[in-house]
Amino acid sequence: MAPAVSPWWQTAVVYQVYIRSFADGNGDGVGDVAGLRTRLPYLARLGVDAIWINPWYPSPMADAGYDVSDYRDIEPAYGTLAEAQALIAEAHELGIRVLLDIVPNHTSDQHAWFRAALADEPGARQRYHFRAGRGPNGDAPPNNWQSVFGGPAWTRVADGQWYLHLFAPGQPDLNWDHDEVRAEFEHILAFWFDRGVDGFRIDVAHGLIKEAGLPDTADPDDAAQSLVQSRAGHPAWDQDGVHDVYRGWRAVAERYTPERIFIAEAWVPSNERLARYLRPDELHTAFQFDFLRAPWRAEVLRAVVDDAIAAAATVGAPPTWVLSNHDVTRTVTRFSRSQPAHLIETDWERGRWADEDPDHVIGRRRARAAALVQLALPGTAYVYQGEELALEEVEDLPDDVRQDPTWVQSGFTDVGRDGCRIPLPWTATDAPFGFGSESGSGTWLPQPAHWGEYSVEAQERDADSTLNLYRDALRVRPTLWRDAGDVKWLTTDADVAAFERGGAQCWVNTGEGPVPLPDTATVVLASAPGVGAVLPPDTAVWLRS
Ligand code: GLC
């Protein structure tokens, strides 16, 4: 009997388009829908199954578009709704599905609802969390919660009330106990599903419901305030009531053919808690972030893989694999300094290794090897734009160009996430490397002068480039790995993660010496030269048994 073929979203490679930095169609130094449309053939050639586009809605950009002022339109700097619809159609013609990013935890402070709340229109404040302050004059925040970006999670308005924002002050949190909020988002989902969108990544999916009464958190200085470590027990995160919201969303998705899907961004303290979002009447998949927190150590990788697969299996969901995204240090740089023994605690605290110079040669070698591991595992793989070019984190941005609200809100102690959001280099010329016009005012974040070497144009010419490694891997992946079955580990060596699935094997060597390979197998693809009888350090290989 032929093996069962899984639905596309259970085995897909999804490419994350950070639209502001992907491709610039009008030469103003900011990425846009027109730029993305011209590069769809690039994505088709790369071999991805779907794209996930970071928020492209009208936004004052207090947090790079995660502050949405209108959920049913396109940010003018990115284009128009008509262009967005053309993009969806063109992507579909190329066999690429389109996932959007929905931001339900908060709106922009420029959203009509929040403006009405500020104007104190009847009932308008009830859609958000407005409270009186504490202390004799009410001039202390209503509780001790801290914003994920730093500083108190409350801002006071002119008439003395305070509103809650777990992120920037320009991102007021919605009150999800309000019926209108629930109904509105179900309509927004349908608005985009009607336009052919195949699904949504859900921003901060674990934050919508807050513990009733918004009680103080037990330890306000604890890292539990941070998003990445949203620990058990914090009254702002992962409350049981959130699951009702997603049952409603699933019902909306199920009205459509072909089926529409959801992927949760939920930073929760355990795989068991994550699995609750994936029950059959809730969301389809969720990011499993331990993979992007794993150091370059085979032992830890094995544990992370086992854990993620086991947790997903309990609810029949596919595991997901993410090496990086627009919120964390780029993979090349994460792997370019000495590696801790355990999962990296919080990647948003950049500069934690600032005392050690990065070795990008090693970082690139490891990132290439990690890609082969990621793409051999069962389930879905997410590729963040620029991973296929092995771009490094830009750690030396001048302070005056930084845009991430983290920089200001942390009192200029946390540089934030701009370094992984630099516009892509397309041509092997000088900056802006085909992004924006040569004569323009520059890209919205400056690119390193040496990025011509890592441009798409340069890598297309080089058979051994990372771009060509990804292209080869994605070409082979469907036959070698898709629907190939469970992971069976082949060794418990501390420096080697080697597994078999179906008739294929993936080996990675995170140690310092060469590792012997089985002599009966043939090499299908290797992340570095020199693979034969042995696997060199910081290298991965795909073998056919
Ligand atoms: C998510 C996004 C991040 C954003 C935050 C607030 O974590 O990935 O970029 O800043 O939510 O919306």
- The three-state DSSP-derived secondary structure of 218-278 is CCCCCHHHCCCCCCCCCCCCCCCCHHHHHHHHHHHHCCCCCCCEEEECCCCCCHHHHHHHH
Average pLDDT score, the chain: 93
**158: CB partners within 8 A, 6+ apart:** none
Residue by residue, DSSP assigns 43-75 as: HHHHT-SEEEEPP-S----TTTT-S-S-TTS--
Asked whether residue 145 falls in the same domain as residue 275, the answer is no
**379: CB partners within 8 A, 6+ apart:** 10, 11, 309, 312, 318, 319, 320, 321
User: Residues 217-246: pLDDT tens digits?
Assistant: 887 665 445 555 555 678 999 999 999 999
Q: Which of 471, 503, 521 is the last residue of a domain?
A: 471
Judged against a pLDDT cut of 80, whether residue 5 lies above it is answered with no
Write the DSSP symbol of residue 327.
T
Asked whether residue 374 falls in the same domain as residue 407, the answer is yes
Q: Do 371 and 392 meet the contact criterion of CB atoms below 8 Å apart?
A: no
Q: Do 445 and 417 meet the contact criterion of CB atoms below 8 Å apart?
A: no
User: Which token pair is 408?
Assistant: 């200001």
Q: Do 498 and 491 meet the contact criterion of CB atoms below 8 Å apart?
A: yes
Tokens 């490694």, located at residue: 469
State if residue 203 touches ligand 1 by the CB under 6 angstroms criterion. Answer: yes
Asked whether residue 251 falls in the same domain as residue 307, the answer is yes
State if residue 481 touches ligand 1 by the CB under 6 angstroms criterion. Answer: no
- Higher pLDDT: 151 or 501? It is 501
**What one-letter code names the amino acid at 372?**
L
Cis peptide upstream of residue 141 (ω within 30 degrees of 0): no
Q: Do 290 and 328 meet the contact criterion of CB atoms below 8 Å apart?
A: no
Q: Do 130 and 117 meet the contact criterion of CB atoms below 8 Å apart?
A: yes
Q: Which of 414, 447, 471 is the last residue of a domain?
A: 471
State if residue 167 touches ligand 1 by the CB under 6 angstroms criterion. Answer: yes
Three-state secondary-structure class, residue 91: helix
- Is 91 domain-assigned? yes
> pTM for this one?
0.96
Asked whether residue 419 falls in the same domain as residue 435, the answer is yes
Distances (CA, A) of 349 to 78, 309, 416, 438: 30, 28, 7, 34
Judged against a pLDDT cut of 80, whether residue 527 lies above it is answered with yes
CA 54 to ligand 1 center in whole angstroms: 10
User: Residues 382-414: pLDDT tens digits?
Assistant: 999 999 999 999 999 999 999 999 899 889 988
- Is 171 domain-assigned? no
pLDDT of residue 156: 98
For residues 145-169, give the mean pLDDT: 94
For residues 325-346, give the mean pLDDT: 88
Asked whether residue 257 falls in the same domain as residue 125, the answer is no
Tokens 């500083």, located at residue: 151
Task: Report the nearest atom of ligand 1 relative to the CA of 227.
Answer: 7
pLDDT of residue 1: 45
State if residue 66 touches ligand 1 by the CB under 6 angstroms criterion. Answer: yes
- Is 481 domain-assigned? no
Q: Which of 471, 503, 525 is the last residue of a domain?
A: 471
Task: Report the nearest atom of ligand 1 relative to the CA of 63.
Answer: 10
What is the domain-level CATH number for residue 151? Answer: 3.90.400.10
User: Binning pLDDT at 50, 70 and 90, where does residue 150 land?
Assistant: confident
* Atom 2 in ligand 1: residue holding the nearest Cα: 203
User: Residues 180-223: pLDDT tens digits?
Assistant: 999 999 999 999 999 999 999 999 999 999 999 999 988 766 54
Asked whether residue 466 falls in the same domain as residue 491, the answer is no
**298: CB partners within 8 A, 6+ apart:** 493, 494, 495, 496, 497, 508, 509, 510, 511
Asked whether residue 200 falls in the same domain as residue 324, the answer is yes
CA 143 to ligand 1 center in whole angstroms: 22
Average the pLDDT over each of 301-305, 513-517, 518-522 and give the range with the smallest value. Answer: 518-522
Judged against a pLDDT cut of 50, whether residue 300 lies above it is answered with yes
User: Residues 35-54: pLDDT tens digits?
Assistant: 999 999 999 999 999 999 99
- Is 222 domain-assigned? no
Task: Report the nearest atom of ligand 1 relative to the CA of 405.
Answer: 10
- Is 203 domain-assigned? yes
| Residue of 327, 403, 407 with the most ligand 1 atoms within 8 Å of its CB, for mutation | 327
User: Residues 313-328: pLDDT tens digits?
Assistant: 988 899 999 999 999 9
User: Domain containing 508: what range?
Assistant: 486-544
State if residue 266 touches ligand 1 by the CB under 6 angstroms criterion. Answer: no
Count: domains in the chain: 3
**Phi/psi at 416 (nearest 5 deg)?**
80, -155
CA 203 to ligand 1 center in whole angstroms: 6
Three-state secondary-structure class, residue 156: strand
Asked whether residue 268 falls in the same domain as residue 300, the answer is yes
User: Which token pair is 371?
Assistant: 């890609």
Pairing of strands 261-264, 285-286: parallel
What is the domain-level CATH number for residue 21? Answer: 3.20.20.80
**Residues 291, 512, 467, 395, CA torsion sign:** positive
User: Binning pLDDT at 50, 70 and 90, where does residue 341 land?
Assistant: confident
pLDDT of residue 77: 97
User: In 377-503, which ranges are E strands?
Assistant: 380-384, 488-489, 496-501
| Residue of 18, 106, 202, 204 with the most ligand 1 atoms within 8 Å of its CB, for mutation | 204
User: Which token pair is 525?
Assistant: 């693809």
Asked whether residue 458 falls in the same domain as residue 525, the answer is no
For residues 125-151, give the mean pLDDT: 94
| Residue of 203, 206, 225 with the most ligand 1 atoms within 8 Å of its CB, for mutation | 203
- Is 81 domain-assigned? yes
What is the domain-level CATH number for residue 495? Answer: 2.60.40.1180
pLDDT of residue 176: 98
Asked whether residue 133 falls in the same domain as residue 101, the answer is no
User: Binning pLDDT at 50, 70 and 90, where does residue 2 land?
Assistant: very low
**282: CB partners within 8 A, 6+ apart:** 243, 246, 247, 250, 276
Write the DSSP symbol of residue 31.
-
- Higher pLDDT: 229 or 291? It is 291
The residue among 113, 128, 120 whose CA lies nearest residue 70 is 113
Separation between Cα atoms, residue 250 and residue 216, nearest integer Å: 32
- Is 223 domain-assigned? no
CA 484 to ligand 1 center in whole angstroms: 34
Q: How many helices (H) and strands (E) are present in the chain, helices listed first? A: 14, 18
As beta bridge partners, residue 534 has: 516
pLDDT of residue 223: 44
pLDDT of residue 289: 87
Residue by residue, DSSP assigns 481-528 as: TTT----EE----TTEEEEEETTEEEEEE-SSS-EE--TT-EEEEESS
**335: CB partners within 8 A, 6+ apart:** 296, 362, 363, 366, 367, 370
Asked whether residue 388 falls in the same domain as residue 300, the answer is yes
Asked whether residue 307 falls in the same domain as residue 393, the answer is yes
- Is 137 domain-assigned? yes
